[in-house]
Chain A
Amino acid sequence: MRFVDEYRDADRARALGERIAAACRPGRRYTFMEVCGGHTHTIYKHGLEDHLPPEVNLVHGPGCPVCVIPMGRVDDAIHIARQPDVIMTSFGDMMRVPGGSGSFLDAKAEGADIRMVYSPLDALKIARANPDRRVVFMAIGFETTAPSTAVTVLRAAAEGLSNFSVFCNHVLIIPAIKAILDSPDLRLDGFIGPGHVSAVIGCQPYEFIAHDYGKPMVVAGFEPLDILTSVHMLLGQLAEGRCQVENQYARVVPWHGNRVALSAIGQVMRLRPHFEWRGLGFIAHSALAMAEDYAAFDAERVFDLPGVRVADPRSCQCGEVLKGVLKPWECKVFGTACTPETPIGTCMVSSEGACAAYYNFGRFSRERMRAAADEPLAGEASRA
């Protein structure tokens, strides 16, 4: 398939892998964080680490939208969904995220009307078709999905829809990266920057990472060759003593971002003074709420919310995983008490979560996997 196959070519990957190995200084280890869950998913889905030399270590960052939703917000959303006249709409990823007492999937089985949508505009369609019900969209995600939520609210306002509201949980990537940079227990050599978020905010907002913290960043695309190329670019910067924000994903990401999208967010939403992140705690100015002018579409004002803060389960180490301090398998409950079917932590829920990606795609000794994978196909020899 065009625009996909050329970024998944094994020969080019092998060649790039050799150049990456050659760019590593002997005896030095390099640790890069891929900020975005989409990258984590790509790395595991394609077995990308097989092309990396042992000197290069990738750690997984906080950029998975459902992974950072705190349990209390899930409980609030379920509280809204349980109101008898409410239809709650949500992305599929959200369905299994555990709150303090169950997930959307559990609430749905108990009778709440919770529907999966692929876009907030689908939620708007449901609102138009059900004028006697109150339709709420569970808005999650970084700057990637915030514009589509904003556009949906603008459309609802233009149509004068009175039975539609948004439970806004949009979060911002820059404060999260800053929190990680300020975390004392972290040793990073550079960042693989989030491609989709950057298509909205551009590359310029990351410059403080290079200037103030002295860490290079390469904004990367989501195909496996994009990520390998970005690793090579990071090593190049380190070898040459440069420290910059570079854009590997120029085919999608404009340096200054998407002004139309940013202005839609600016019109409909406002910055929260602080917001709780799963595992990372409260981070100032790190999330968006609905603006005053659109209060009628703000589920937090339309409904009475319990707003109870729920502490993460003590056994759960999502915070350390989200900060890249722990590899998924180093978490105490990984794969035993916490699995994709019965997740304790959010990292095990979404296919973009580091733990789920590792559990589903990588849960095995790479040496034994490689040994097995080298077996030739039966029947090939006899046909040749």
Chain B
Amino acid sequence: MSREQQVLDRIERVRRRKPVVREERITLAHGAGGKATHTLIEAVFLEAFRNPLLAPLDDGAILRLEDARAAFTTDSFVVSPLFFPGGDIGDLAVNGTVNDLAMCGARPCHLSAGFILEEGFPVADLRRVTASMAAAAAAAEVTIVTGDTKVVPRGKGDGCYITTAGVGLIEQPVTLTAAGARPGDAVIVSGPIGAHGAAIMLARGDFDIEAPITSDTASLHGIVADLLRAIPQHVRTLRDATRGGIATVINEVAVASEVAVVLQEEKIPVRPEVTGVCELLGLDPLYVACEGRFVTVVDGEHAAQALDTLRGHPLGSEAEIIGTVADDPPGLVLLRTTFGGTRVVDVLVGDPLPRIC
């Protein structure tokens, strides 16, 4: 074995070690959805709460209630600014939880909503947020059935934070897990990536850049239901590509399934204006958040059918097969670049963009 290969093998062993939180205090990187977030979740939360329902760390937990299977999930929203082109914190709070349920293969049914409001927050803004939540809930055919409100002193919060939880019923005979990918499977993305992150960045007004980019926030339960109806037995994994972008969720699949994923850069849909903003700011669209896009791994033989099904839904008209699952090297995501080279696509490190959702 070459010396380089020995070094690389040693690195892979280190990467598989149990994660340890080394920092003494929480940093913004712990909220970015990348490596630090994973480490925090596994070393603090999973360590404290470990149980079989939580351990897979999928988008939601699957509960058995009598004969029914239900999915249960929760998500918090701290986006800044609260209002941005294409949506606001209210849409995100509903769509984010609805999408997590959809990724479990569930039909979303009921949500809860908890509000942490800062003293001085305008009631008119709160009405605007709740109106968006009501509209998003109606579109997703869910009801918000319980809630809670707390107010913190001025300066102890930033306007409005929302936590939603949701339950949904799994009605198809599906088994969805990040560990389900097998060699020969196809990786599909449901539409152009990175619009939400780019929209938030521009909405903050930190750069003198103007571009017609609106957030892609949308509830995905409809398009997912179409896919699961078409090929219920052949969908291995569903993941919505929020913080950390598609690169991070595809890495989760590669690691959990112990497979390699090979992506084709030229197949990955990115709108030109999003590419432009990313080029200017030195960001890689693969890591920029989406709020209405998902990645699915399906049996390679049913990939074409899956793609046709997704493209038949308005939210999936630009879906693409972007990659293939291979057996070697396990746990690694590779990208065949448009330039004709090959490189590794790693999990996000650090935080390019705090408070994106």
CB proximity of B131 to chain A, nearest CB, Å: 32
Choose among A51, A339, A369, A376 the residue with the greatest number of B CB atoms under 10 Å from its CB. A369
Residues 1-15 of chain A, each 1 if its beta carbon lies under 8 Å from chain B, else 0 = 100100011100110
Q: Which of A322-372 contact B (CB under 8 A)?
A: 329-330, 334-336, 339-342, 351, 359-366, 368-372
A92: Cβ under 8 A from any B Cβ? yes
Known contacts A342-B22, A372-B328, A383-B304; decide if A48 and B339 are in contact (CB<8 Å). yes
**CB nearest neighbor in A for B272:** A1
Task: Please determine whether A372 and B262 come into contact, CB atoms closer than 8 angstroms.
Answer: yes
Q: How large is the interface on B (under 10, 10 to 19, 20 to 34, 35 or more residues)?
A: 35 or more
A95 within 8 A of B: yes
What are the residues of chain A within 8 A of B206 when measuring CB–CB? 118, 122
Q: How large is the interface on A (under 10, 10 to 19, 20 to 34, 35 or more residues)?
A: 35 or more
Contacts of A383 in B (CB 8 A): 304, 307
**Whose C-beta in chain A lies nearest to the C-beta of B321?**
A379
Query: How many A-B contacts are there with CB distance less than 8 Å?
Result: 166
Contact A4 B279, beta carbon cutoff 8 Å: yes
Do the beta carbons of B262 and A375 come within 8 Å of each other? yes
Closest to B184 in A: A378
When chains A and B are docked, how far (Å) is the Cα of A234 from the Cα of B172?
A: 62
**A369 smallest CB distance to B (angstroms):** 5
Query: Does B25 sit at the interface, judged by CB under 8 A?
Result: yes
B207 lies within 8 A of chain A by Cβ: yes
B146 contacts partner chain A, Cβ-Cβ < 8 Å: no
Among B4, B14, B29, B282, point to the contact of A105 (Cβ < 8 A): B29
**Which of chain A's residues have a CB closer than 8 A to the CB of B334?**
364, 369, 372-373
The answer to whether A377 touches B186 (Cβ under 8 A) is: yes
Contact of A44 with B343 in the complex, beta carbons under 8 Å: yes
A351: chain B residues within 8 A (beta carbon)? 282
- Known contacts A336-B11, A362-B344, A378 near B4 by CB under 8 Å: no
State in angstroms the CA–CA spacing of A351 and B301 once bound together: 38
Structural contact, B27 and A108, CB atoms closer than 8 A: yes
Contact indicator A360/B344 (Cβ below 8 Å): yes
- Which stretch from B61-69, B70-78, B346-354 is at the chain A interface? B346-354
Contacts of B284 on A, CB cut-off 8 Å?
45
A residues less than 8 Å from B323 (CB atoms): 377
A50-B341, A105-B29 known; A377 vs B324 contact (CB < 8 Å): yes
Interface centre among A14, A106, A336, A379 (most CB of B within 10 A): A379
Min distance, Cβ B342 to any Cβ of chain A, angstroms:
4
Q: How far is the CB of B319 from chain A (nearest CB, A)?
A: 11
Contact of A363 among B11, B26, B321, B325 (CB under 8 A): B11
Report Cα–Cα, A370/B342, bound state, in Å. Answer: 7
Residues of B within 8 A of A207 (CB): none
A109 CB–B CB distance under 8 Å:
yes
Contacts of A359 in B (CB 8 A): 346
**Closest chain A residue, CB of each to CB of B207:** A118
A363-B8 CB under 8 A given contacts A4-B279, A373-B262, A378-B303:
yes
Query: Nearest chain-B residue to A109 (Cβ)?
Result: B25
What residue in chain B is nearest A357 (Cβ atoms)? B343
A259 at the B interface (CB under 8 A) = no
Q: Identify B340's interface contact among A10, A368, A371, CB under 8 A.
A: A10
Residue contact B35 to A50, C-beta cutoff 8 Å:
no
16 more CB-based (< 8 A) A-B contacts, given A1-B279, A365-B4: A47-B337, A47-B342, A105-B27, A109-B23, A224-B339, A224-B341, A334-B7, A334-B11, A351-B282, A360-B349, A361-B346, A363-B344, A364-B8, A369-B329, A369-B344, A378-B185
Closest 8 CB pairs of A and B: A47-B341, A379-B303, A378-B300, A335-B11, A10-B340, A378-B186, A109-B25, A50-B341
Q: Which chain A residues have a beta carbon within 8 Å of chain B's beta carbons? A: 1, 4, 8-10, 13-14, 44-51, 92, 95-96, 105-106, 108-110, 118, 122, 224-225, 329-330, 334-336, 339-342, 351, 359-366, 368-373, 375-380, 382-383
A-B contact pairs, 22 of them (CB 8 A): A13-B340, A44-B343, A45-B284, A45-B343, A46-B339, A47-B335, A47-B336, A48-B339, A48-B341, A51-B339, A51-B340, A109-B25, A118-B207, A334-B7, A336-B14, A360-B349, A362-B344, A364-B8, A366-B342, A372-B260, A380-B321, A382-B301
